[in-house]
Amino acid sequence: DFKKWSDFELAFRNRYFSSTMIHKKFDLLKQRKQLHDEPVTSYFDDIVNLCKEIDPQMSELMMIKHLMSGIHPEFQKELSRRESTMNTLNEFLKYAKIEQDLNDTFENFHRLSIESTKPNFEINHRQIPSLTNMIERPKQQYQFMNKMNPHSHSFTTQRSDYKRNSNYQYEPRSTFTPNKNMQYNSHQHELQQKNYINNQLLSQPLFNHCRICSRQNHRTIDCFHKQTTGCFNCGQNHTVRECTKPPSFQLEETHTTVFVLHNDLSYPLCNNQNQLTIPDQDGQLNFIPYVEPTCTNYPALLVHQITIPPYSQVLADITCSVNDANDFIFEPYEHHILKSIFIPHTLLNINKHQAKVLLMNAHDRQKILSRNTRIGTISRETTYSIFTTTESSTAQNSFLHENFQRSS
């Protein structure tokens, strides 16, 4: 029979509770610390409950020592001065709440005083770009800003020209929508961004030669001289990459070196008649027409579709516009290197527009190349002839002519 509740609680704990629970509670009590934003009352109730669970007969002075060991360091200094006068839990809670209220009051006052001294405006450190950067703004800058700004939107434009020449990959064009709320927090971040853009400009490659006009300032799909139907270059029913015809609007560059016989030459050398006019010693006009240089580069295309097994090589037939020739220089198309297909540089003997080249597959899967796939370029070494004109008498010319015949 139990006459007191405390006796019943003690007997109940001794009979049914685990023997190791008290040790766990005591370890938790030693590790319990007041958090930075935790109220004193919450910390006080938690410590007192742990003490009563460990030892219901624990004195209040012992509980106060456990409270002092885990309380916030800012309160512990002031409470230590009053520890000798605090004999009950209520007195400890009273002084602890006073310290907490004082700390919160002065902390809020200090924060408000700092905020009142701040200026009411913010300085934007972003610099205005120069006129040259505004006019010649590179595309890489838009791509960089799209990564930095999630509010930028990109879209891809396609035209009917893309369907007719599907081998070309049309690049997406991005439109940058500036965000007025976006600000750079430091000047160093802005310098890093400018250095990134400058490095992109230095490493920006040129376009490949246009297959219509041979320029490098635009792509073939954007050429002004392209055909409206079929192939961009010749208008037939195939893609421009399969076209064997030389560029229709190839630029002509004429380099002329004139050795003038007299100090003065009154007649203009260059005119709009597609010819060079040079007067001789007797006043007769010599007309030298401008001759269009012959094309020395020819695309090499596959004759049949081929399948290259993994880690193997195949001798393939190619065709070009050259009929019969020897010792032509073959240069492989660099695009196949990205597909792990390697083609050696070599000299070819062309017979009836055809020759053979070696293709090696370095990938672990087979590669299939369709008919009329461009393998590389066939070219021949250009030879130059240099002529000089000198002023001499007829007798000297006859003497030189006789010596030349004897030496030959």
Spans of all domains in the chain: 5-115, 146-176+188-248, 253-291, 297-379
Q: Which of 7-21, 25-39, 131-145 has the highest mean pLDDT?
A: 25-39
Partners of 285 in the β-ladder: 279
Most confident of 3-7, 66-70, 397-401: 66-70
Q: Is the pLDDT of residue 131 over 60?
A: no
Segment 214-242 shows an average pLDDT of 80
How many C-beta atoms surround the C-beta of residue 380 within 10 A? 15
From the CB of residue 329, how many other CB atoms can be counted at a distance below 10 Å? Answer: 16
How sure is the predictor about 241, in pLDDT bands with cuts at 50, 70 and 90? confident
Mean pLDDT within 198-211: 62
Q: Using the structure block, give the residue that is written with the tokens 């809670």.
A: 93
SS3 126: coil
Instruction: Give percent above pLDDT 90 in the chain.
Output: 14
Percent of the chain with pLDDT over 70: 59
Q: How far is CA 294 from the centre of its chain?
A: 40
**d(C-alpha 278, C-alpha 298), whole Å:** 35
187-193 average pLDDT score: 57
Of 212, 216, 145, 154, residue with least CA distance to 182: 145
If you search the block for the tokens 């579709």, which residue do you land on? 305
Q: What is the pLDDT of residue 317?
A: 94
- How do beta strands 285-289 and 367-369 pair? unpaired
Average pLDDT over residues 137-154: 48
**Residue 164 to residues 229, 231, 232, 254, 283, Cα–Cα distance (Å):** 8, 7, 9, 35, 58
pLDDT of residue 237: 82
- Helices and strands in the chain, H and E counts: 11, 13
Supply the DSSP string of 178-247, one letter for each residue.
--TT---S-HHHHHHHHHHHHHHHHTPPPPPPPTTT--SSS-GGG-TT--SSSSTTT-SSS-GGG--SPP
Question: Per this entry, what is the length of the chain?
Answer: 408
For residues 52 and 206, what is the distance between their CA atoms, to the nearest angstrom?
81
**For position 309, what pLDDT does the model report?**
93
The arithmetic mean of pLDDT across residues 379-393, rounded, is: 55
Task: Render pLDDT for 271-301 as a digit per residue (tens, 0 to 9).
Answer: 455 677 777 777 777 777 766 555 578 899 9
State the DSSP code for 294: P
Residue 307 has pLDDT above 70, yes or no: yes
Tell me whether strands 346-350 and 325-332 are parallel, antiparallel or unpaired. Answer: antiparallel
Quick one: pLDDT at residue 162? 47
Contact between residue 370 and residue 302 where contact means Cβ atoms under 8 Å apart? yes
pLDDT of residue 253: 44
User: Would you place residue 192 in the very low, low, confident or very high pLDDT band (cuts 50, 70, 90)?
Assistant: low
d(CA 217, CA 57) in angstroms, rounded, equals: 93
The predicted structure's pLDDT at residue 119? 53
* CATH 1.20.1070.10 is held by the domain 297-379: no
Q: Does position 116 have pLDDT exceeding 90, yes or no?
A: no
Q: Would you say 308 and 347 are in contact if contact means Cβ atoms under 8 Å apart?
A: no
